[in-house]
Structure 1
């Protein structure tokens, strides 16, 4: 530049002479004119040589081990600019058919510069392995950087480093992107991409490994005990959300950002880095879906379905490239297979209820194990209404006769998925109730069979009332079945205490003979003792229902006995007791009735009533 703008005190040589003299008639040398552009390009090479040589990784200077991209990045910016100018000089001289010497010199400098940038690129990548975890800030910085389109190249570069200075990750991203752009524009993109793919793919693979995700075959999963598979499912559930939202999402942002100069390179890099790991990750649910299906596996299968379904929008977005379509297909196929498995498990669950063959009556008419199992299972299913709504939406209920509309009503019936899922749950409950009806035949005592029905239906109603089932089945369903519980309890009272109630005169205040009075007392004593002795081992599980039945019994039995007792007790000289015709005072009846339904006695005992009463006292509440 100095030679262009400041003339020498000596006379200048004639144009095109390059300092050589010529004689008249001689032929001038055939060399390109030494123009302003030529001088600029030569100085580009000289300036690049001074910087590139200083940072030569094979050179003798201290800089060969020092990082170029550090501090305020001034030297790094100068280095990148010198490479850009060197590239411009090479293009210029190539177009001018300049001497090979200049081209060789420039090419050697470019190779030295690229070697340095390769090392810097590698060192930055290896020193910042967790860049994808700061993907949000990277994306935010990328958005801000995109607003600088009106700036000049040099201004944009300066602004980029100023913006990137907001965080370490953003600064690192700016370094990587600048190096990638420089190497790609210089024709060394392959070397740059190779380094990037190797390092980032190892990071993704290692991350999944440490998250507990491993490549498994279908046969391996089939041979595993369920507790082992369950443990792997738990690991997979924890790993997948992180993998999609942080690992793969971050890698996609990194590739798009580092290789923003080329969408094709960004796509190929992301695909090679993530495809194998993603296929392994999303292939696992399908392996589980293919395994042997038992009811206890239902909830883990639905966990898998729920996770993939919830992450599906992100999966589609992250793996949107055509080259990653296999990943989308794997995730979608897992959803299909898991959905099929859930439908089959639900069908098997219903069938298992219908085919229950237990023949042993529940002692005391209590809640049947089948009732507890089915209702607890259904309550847990309610936590997956979102999943099940998807599953049953296009899966009509296949029964011989449709459920009557009066059987259930849902307060959320306006939602598109509510009718199908509500109907499905109502059907399962109905299957259970029908099965319980068939088990009534196991009880020889009719009154005990009604107590059994009251206990079990009340358990069902209680589970519905205190869970999400209430929203699905509705208030009408609940009210209808609460009435049925009351009807079963009333039938128990009528059948269980009919002898004692009928042993008293219809009108206890009318005047009758002493013999008739004594007969009524004895009949009542015998009937009451018999029913108490038989029922002292019976049980009502729910405390509220238990109190309601005891109060109802007392209201039916005690007032009638009290009126008869008070009118005729004076006919007998002896005190109330075992040896007297009048064996019970009205308060005694209340006491005996209050001790029922705790299951404390022994059904069918042949001991005396006083012994049974003693057993009652010892059993307590």
Structure 2
């Protein structure tokens, strides 16, 4: 009992350890968020792999649910970090959260890279530019919203989107999702660095395959024209695809991947600027090369290509950072316009300085006429852009124009456009030059035939080309009348001696000796004229037949009347009838029908015929 109730000595009292501070409810939630984020992020941590290859990728069709969890965990981690920064910036948990965020961002970097690389075919500019922005809009993307996969498939099937377009749309939506996540986490630099490197290499490679070369002015100036022309043709085949597909598609892709306008501009500018400057700077360098009229049409092709694409160029490269691209296109247009005007001036000078002195055989078409009209006819195919080029380039007439060539080029009120005036002026210069070349012929009749042939060639070229619409029907009618005037002058001068050998008044009684004299003179004049003109030519069939018919009506009836009145009655009594009356009227027509073909072998008439006609 004593032992039970006896009191043992009390032990010495000690101070209890301090209790840890009690967590707030929000802190406990943040801790829980970090734990959840760590489990998800660690699961997909690929830090042990230095390569982007040979790893399982999160953004794959079978992992859509885990993608949603992963992105949500990053959002929770961000929220926790913001809390710790505001409450205790030195907290160990903040460091832990920051390390987890770095791990997550490295993973997203690899995912971003993988999507860009593995979807090259789906993200090529042609695929991207082929479908509308509305369908590719990230704000409507099923992947961004992460709806159920069944809903994703159903909606796209209902919209009947092609498999290629669906893959392209899904890839762009995933890229935007990753970009938004990385940028909101403060990893903008890492995100756009990957994007710029990959996409710029794709654009540069595409331009290379299109044949776009980065050639300097010095390199172009050293090229033979044949080589340079091949380069121009290659550029013309490439520029439309490059602008309307390549750069346009890249611009759409940038707009779909990045939400912030500043990032869109920065990425697109850095990716496309160098290639676009090389592409659109090529025509400017070509325009600075040596200028000759023969190069005109390639210069106009280049001008037309840039002019047609200017609305797209202006729209695609609208940013301030891509203003150099727009300015390069403008500079190319300016330099090409200057080159075209210089070549037109050179062409005018070449016409005026033509010094060929040899007459064209048979009064045919002069090489200058063919060259000028073929050149001008080809120019009319570019009348639209020529209107821009010569719109503010007034025509200066160096000297008064001869009155015989219809005054000044703008005397015809129907010719009002700058292009029409300029082309009419070129034709007028040619006509003046041809007038001088007609004087090289010793035979006046042949000179008129030469003028008729050449003017007829010019009129036909005008009638059968766009020149007719530029110069007008009045111009054509006026020059056709001039052709008829030249033809009439040829007939009058070329056959006057033949007509003069027949009596003017065939109703009066003429002595037999005088009749004989008229027949002899006619024979000699006709033989001389036929021999001389048998090698003259009229290349155009309609003009040839018209002149033949006119000559027949002018000469044959007069001779036939004389023949019927005197050759068949009075001279039949003479023993020298056949030696005097060498041509029957039908023989005369046969001879004249063979004129102007330039194919007569003898150029002479035969005296062996029952009626003095030709032997065949």
Normalising by the residue count of structure 2, what TM-score does the alignment of the two structures yield?
A: 0.87
* Shift, 1:519, TM fit: 1.2
Aligned equivalents of 1:321 and 1:424: distance in 2? Answer: 39
Q: Partner of 2:10 in structure 1?
A: none
Distance 1:64 1:436, change over 3 A: closer
Q: What is the correspondence of 1:164-243 to structure 2 with a 5 Å cutoff?
A: 166=161, 167-243=166-242
Distance 1:578 1:30, change over 3 A: farther
Q: Residues 29-55 of structure 1: CA distance to partner in whole angstroms, max 9, x if unpaired?
A: 4636330x3333333222222222222
* Shift, 1:143, TM fit: 6.9
Q: Partner of 2:418 in structure 1?
A: 420
Q: Partner of 2:549 in structure 1?
A: 551
Q: What is the correspondence of 1:509-520 to structure 2 with a 5 Å cutoff?
A: 509-520=507-518
Q: Partner of 2:469 in structure 1?
A: 471
Aligned equivalents of 2:77 and 2:583: distance in 1? Answer: 117
Q: 2:104 aligns with which of 102, 109, 113?
A: 113
Q: Check whether the contact 1:409–1:477 (CA below 8 A) recurs between aligned residues.
A: no
Q: Check whether the contact 1:237–1:304 (CA below 8 A) recurs between aligned residues.
A: yes
Q: Check whether the contact 2:281–2:332 (CA below 8 A) recurs between aligned residues.
A: yes
Q: Check whether the contact 1:141–1:163 (CA below 8 A) recurs between aligned residues.
A: no
Distance 1:617 1:219, change over 3 A: farther
* Shift, 1:74, TM fit: 2.7
Find out whether 1:53 has 2:57 as its counterpart: no
Q: 1:352 aligns with which of 350, 353, 368?
A: 350
Distance 1:186 1:406, change over 3 A: closer
* Shift, 1:602, TM fit: 6.5
Q: Check whether the contact 1:69–1:76 (CA below 8 A) recurs between aligned residues.
A: yes
Distance 1:43 1:330, change over 3 A: same
Q: What is the correspondence of 1:468-507 to structure 2 with a 5 Å cutoff?
A: 468-507=466-505
Find out whether 1:408 has 2:412 as its counterpart: yes
* Shift, 1:315, TM fit: 1.1
Q: Partner of 1:96 in structure 2?
A: 87
Aligned equivalents of 1:211 and 1:93: distance in 2? Answer: 54
RMSD: 3.1
Q: Check whether the contact 1:409–1:473 (CA below 8 A) recurs between aligned residues.
A: no
Q: What is the correspondence of 1:162-561 to structure 2 with a 5 Å cutoff?
A: 166=161, 167-260=166-259, 262-400=260-398, 404=408, 407-410=411-414, 419-561=417-559
Aligned equivalents of 1:578 and 1:281: distance in 2? Answer: 86
Decide which moves more: 350-359 or 505-514.
Answer: 505-514
Find out whether 1:75 has 2:66 as its counterpart: yes
Aligned equivalents of 1:576 and 1:372: distance in 2? Answer: 56
Aligned equivalents of 1:194 and 1:375: distance in 2? Answer: 58
Q: Residues 194-244 of structure 1: CA distance to partner in whole angstroms, max 9, x if unpaired?
A: 111111111111111111111111111111000100000011111111111
Normalising by the residue count of structure 1, what TM-score does the alignment of the two structures yield?
A: 0.87
Give unmatched runs, 5+ long, in structure 2. Answer: 1-12, 402-406, 609-613
Q: Partner of 2:33 in structure 1?
A: 44
Q: Check whether the contact 2:200–2:272 (CA below 8 A) recurs between aligned residues.
A: yes
Aligned equivalents of 2:154 and 2:59: distance in 1? Answer: 14
Distance 1:443 1:32, change over 3 A: farther
* Shift, 1:187, TM fit: 1.2
Distance 1:182 1:146, change over 3 A: closer
* Shift, 1:448, TM fit: 0.1
Number of positions where the alignment pairs a residue of Structure 1 with one of Structure 2: 579
| SS of equivalent residue, structure 1 residue 501 | helix
| SS of equivalent residue, structure 1 residue 570 | coil
Give unmatched runs, 5+ long, in structure 1. Answer: 1-22
Find out whether 1:135 has 2:128 as its counterpart: yes
